[in-house]
Amino acid sequence: MNKQWKLKARPVGEPTRENWEFEENDIPTIKAGEMLVKVLYVSLDPAMRGWLNDAKSYIEPVQIGAVMRAGTVGQVIDSQLDGFSKGDFVVGYDGVQQYSVSNGKGVHKVDPKLAPLSYYLGVLGMPGMTGYFGLIKSGEPKSGETVVISGAAGAVGGLVGQIAKIKGCRVVGIAGGKDKCQFLIDELGFDAAIDYKNENVKQALKQACPDGVDVFFDNVGGEILDDVLTRINFKARIVICGAISQYNNTTPVKGPSNYLSLLVNRARMEGIVVFDNIKEYPTAMQEIGGWIQSGQMKVKEHVVDGIETFPETLMMLFKGENFGKLILKVGDAE
Amino acid sequence: MNKQWKLKARPVGEPTRENWEFEENDIPTIKAGEMLVKVLYVSLDPAMRGWLNDAKSYIEPVQIGAVMRAGTVGQVIDSQLDGFSKGDFVVGYDGVQQYSVSNGKGVHKVDPKLAPLSYYLGVLGMPGMTGYFGLIKSGEPKSGETVVISGAAGAVGGLVGQIAKIKGCRVVGIAGGKDKCQFLIDELGFDAAIDYKNENVKQALKQACPDGVDVFFDNVGGEILDDVLTRINFKARIVICGAISQYNNTTPVKGPSNYLSLLVNRARMEGIVVFDNIKEYPTAMQEIGGWIQSGQMKVKEHVVDGIETFPETLMMLFKGENFGKLILKVGDAE
């Protein structure tokens, strides 16, 4: 049988089990030009919350009754599609289900010998590409500058901070809880970490960023964005990668009250979406892969087992309960 | 005697007559290395409100008890300073007073034959440079794109729209009242105008910008910024020149709730301050001067006579009562 999670009703505020429909259907059959993929790992990302809204965005909303969209790593178990053979491992958007029929569009083969399969959903996947291109192209960090990252212990944040360190920057992470903050410093080599759950972020930024903030890579929005805006330098760059603090709002998004700091400091705030860099993914993957091999980059994953847990596991992102890249394991390779 | 307006107390909200001290003092005398300037025209600009706050900004706050800072055009009536002679006309920051002693720092001679003297406070002065460099360097308008301007009938807005027209853009102005909107279309050649006092801006933008918004030059902030954010295109540029709707707030500034449109559209929002381009002013003045001479650019001024009216005349900016560049006339050339 094929266990699937479908969107039942669009959430207002936090998505709960009531917004989802769990189904067990027959494993689908394929025809010419298709392949059957067994899903092994499902990527859970903050962006998924946006896909649930019926609003114009950078990607179509997930339709009511459709299998929830998600990035996946899977294994081909049957193929009538040129270029894909039984046993191949593939990354794609096969959704929150155990088996998927694919025509190969947007699907790439990956080599399990080069990296653990789950890495293709994290550091070598969408979060990795998001952080890499967002920091380098939009953040434009220069050696000696101070880079601040919110959601620093998440999939994107941890990578961004490590790249900024490689680029010679002072790196300050904002994360929730002592363990995460300690991890950023001890394991990922950040220069400082701010525990937003137990510290006054505005005050802590003063201490952690004695020379101000040149680049802010924001995954969180809300009060943290406003706090950082009070500390930015002349010609600072703010990369808007996300605003997880605002995604489940039932009231309007909190806009940054301190945005006029952009004017005072001739700074810019720029939004990024990973898909714009798709042609350059191979370059980024090669460079990140090199950093991992040389030990300059560490990878932290948070794997939860069992497709049945999907609604609650997804919510871990919004509660700040994941520690590293959140992944739902739904099957084993054959 | 020398009539002067000094800052008596920092305003909370709108500056009123109680925030100012009117004095009549002796006309000062000069010593070696100084000149005495008779002030003819005083520039009144939204940015002046920011100078009254005791807050870190791009320029020092005006001190309590000091003559109010303001851009001026004046005439040298006595000089012991090399390079300046009696009768010379000068632009500088001589403040809201009739006579000023200057050491020549930041002062430039201007030629009354090349342009009316008041133009050096507007189209050839700080507002002109603000609009010119803000639009060209930060807005980067391309022929065929749609440029929207708030505060479009003000000193900066009117110039920005006309430059955008010269650059081949579709230009839409947002202004308060039918007269201003009609003026933008009939006199300045805008393609469309939106009367924010009598129209639903969000709806009106849909009609006025059928191809979306590529550049937004914002002088106003608040709801209008949020409305425009709903209509921006992929890779749009938002130039934050000011936020006059927020300057007299006693509550926190309204941050743009729709700022995540920057993410969806990979757009940027950038702050500008005119002084960064000071070395390039001559180039801009020459180009703008050429457009005025060729009739491609029209100049609208709103001159109020009498230094005594300063507190109320300044408030016209915040009530949207000025129509064109607001200037206080305080004296006649000798």
Q: What is the CATH number of the domain that holds A259?
A: 3.40.50.720
Assess whether A74 and A157 both reside in one domain: no
Assess whether A142 and A189 both reside in one domain: yes
Q: pLDDT digit string (tens) for A183-216?
A: 999 999 999 999 999 999 999 999 999 999 999 9
Q: How far is A222 from chain B (nearest CA, A)?
A: 10
Q: pLDDT digit string (tens) for B86-95?
A: 999 999 999 9
Count: domains in chain A: 2
Assess whether A49 and A157 both reside in one domain: no
Cross-chain residue pair B254–A255, CB shorter than 8 Å:
yes
Looking at residue A55, its pLDDT comes to 86
Look at residues A161, A91, A108 and name the one whose alpha carbon lies nearest to residue A132. Answer: A161
Tell me which H or E stretch contains A289.
Answer: helix A281-294
Cross-chain residue pair A255–B256, CB shorter than 8 Å:
yes
Burial class (CB in 10 A: 0-12, 13-18, 19+), A149: buried
Q: Residue A153: inside a domain, yes or no?
A: yes
Looking at residue A9, its pLDDT comes to 97
CA distances, A229 to each of A233, A271, A333, B104, B248 (Å): 9, 16, 47, 36, 20
Asked if A176 and A199 count as a contact pair (C-beta separation under 8 A), the reply is: no
Q: Residue B283: inside a domain, yes or no?
A: no
Interface test with B, best of A57, A220, A244, A263 (most B CBs within 10 A): A263
Alpha helices in B21-118, H assignment, sequence order: 47-51
Residue A272 is nearest to which of B221, B252, B263, comparing CB atoms? Answer: B263
Q: Which residues of B touch A267 (CB under 8 A)?
A: 270-271
The total of other beta-carbon atoms located within 10 Å of residue B148's CB is 32
Instruction: Please state the separation of Cα A291 from the chain's center in Å.
Output: 19
Q: Which residues of A touch B229 (CB under 8 A)?
A: none
Q: Which residues of B touch A270 (CB under 8 A)?
A: 262, 266-269
Cross-chain residue pair A270–B268, CB shorter than 8 Å:
yes
Looking at residue A56, its pLDDT comes to 82
Q: pLDDT digit string (tens) for B246-301?
A: 999 988 899 999 999 999 999 999 999 999 999 999 999 999 999 999 999 999 99
Assess whether A194 and A324 both reside in one domain: no
Burial class (CB in 10 A: 0-12, 13-18, 19+), A329: middle
At A198, give phi and psi (nearest 5°): -130, 0
Please, what is the Cα angle at A261 between A206 and A235, to 5 degrees? 85
Terminal alpha carbon distance of chain A: 16
Q: How far is A276 from chain B (nearest CA, A)?
A: 9
Both tokens of residue B106? 């930041």
**E strand residue ranges, chain A:** 2-7, 20-25, 35-43, 72-79, 89-92, 99-102, 108-110, 146-150, 170-175, 192-195, 213-218, 232-240, 268-271, 301-305, 325-329
Q: How far is A236 from chain B (nearest CA, A)?
A: 10
Cross-chain residue pair B271–A260, CB shorter than 8 Å:
yes
Cross-chain residue pair A256–B259, CB shorter than 8 Å:
yes
Looking at residue A211, its pLDDT comes to 98
Assess whether B108 and B131 both reside in one domain: no
Searching chain B, which residue's CA lies closest to the CA of residue A56? B264
Rounded CA separation A16/B119 (Å): 62
Residue A57 is nearest to which of B262, B264, B276, comparing CB atoms? Answer: B264
Asked if B146 and B209 count as a contact pair (C-beta separation under 8 A), the reply is: yes
Q: Residue A73: inside a domain, yes or no?
A: yes
Looking at residue A57, its pLDDT comes to 85
Assess whether A257 and A309 both reside in one domain: no
- Give the A:B interface size as CB pairs under 8 Å: 107
Domain CATH code at residue B62: 3.90.180.10
Assess whether B183 and B241 both reside in one domain: yes
Searching chain A, which residue's CA lies closest to the CA of residue B59? A264
Searching chain A, which residue's CA lies closest to the CA of residue B247? A260
Residue A269 is nearest to which of B241, B246, B262, comparing CB atoms? Answer: B262
Look at residues A99, A102, A155 and name the one whose alpha carbon lies nearest to residue A131. Answer: A155
Q: Which residues of B touch A252 (CB under 8 A)?
A: 257
Q: Which residues of A touch B243 (CB under 8 A)?
A: 260, 263
Look at residues A26, A270, A288, A103 and name the one whose alpha carbon lies nearest to residue B265. Answer: A270
Looking at residue B57, its pLDDT comes to 85
User: Quick check: A238 pLDDT over 90?
Assistant: yes
Residue B263 is nearest to which of A240, A252, A266, comparing CB atoms? Answer: A240
Assess whether A170 and A108 both reside in one domain: no
Tell me the pLDDT band of A46, cut-offs 50, 70 and 90. very high
Q: Residue A280: inside a domain, yes or no?
A: no
Looking at residue A200, its pLDDT comes to 98
Q: Which residues of B touch A255 (CB under 8 A)?
A: 226, 254-259
Interface test with A, best of B45, B260, B261, B262 (most A CBs within 10 A): B260
- Summary mean pLDDT of chain A: 96
Q: Which residues of chain B have pLDDT under 70?
A: none
Q: Tell me chain B's radius of gyration from C-alpha atoms.
A: 20
Interface test with A, best of B57, B240, B275 (most A CBs within 10 A): B240
Assess whether B271 and B130 both reside in one domain: yes
Look at residues A90, A89, A104, A45 and name the one whose alpha carbon lies nearest to residue A69. Answer: A45
Both tokens of residue B183? 């003026």
Looking at residue B55, its pLDDT comes to 86
Residue A263 is nearest to which of B265, B268, B272, comparing CB atoms? Answer: B272
Interface of B with A (CB under 8 A): 56-58, 221, 226, 240-243, 246, 252-273, 276
Q: Residue A15: inside a domain, yes or no?
A: yes
CA distances, B62 to each of A314, B46, B311 (Å): 53, 15, 15
Cross-chain residue pair A242–B263, CB shorter than 8 Å:
yes
Assess whether B214 and B131 both reside in one domain: yes
Q: Residue A291: inside a domain, yes or no?
A: no
CA distances, B180 to each of A68, B88, B152, B223 (Å): 51, 36, 9, 20
Assess whether A108 and A11 both reside in one domain: yes
Assess whether A103 and A56 both reside in one domain: yes
Residue A255 is nearest to which of B56, B257, B266, comparing CB atoms? Answer: B257
Q: pLDDT digit string (tens) for A12-23?
A: 999 999 999 999
Residue A253 is nearest to which of B260, B266, B271, comparing CB atoms? Answer: B260
Q: pLDDT digit string (tens) for A123-162?
A: 999 999 999 999 999 999 999 999 999 999 999 999 999 9
Cross-chain residue pair A269–B259, CB shorter than 8 Å:
yes
Q: Residue B134: inside a domain, yes or no?
A: yes
Q: How far is A208 from chain B (nearest CA, A)?
A: 20
Q: Residue B196: inside a domain, yes or no?
A: yes
Residue A248 structural domain: 126-275
Q: How far is B125 from chain A (nearest CA, A)?
A: 19
Q: Which residues of B touch A57 (CB under 8 A)?
A: 264
Interface of A with B (CB under 8 A): 56-58, 221, 226, 240-243, 246, 252-273, 276
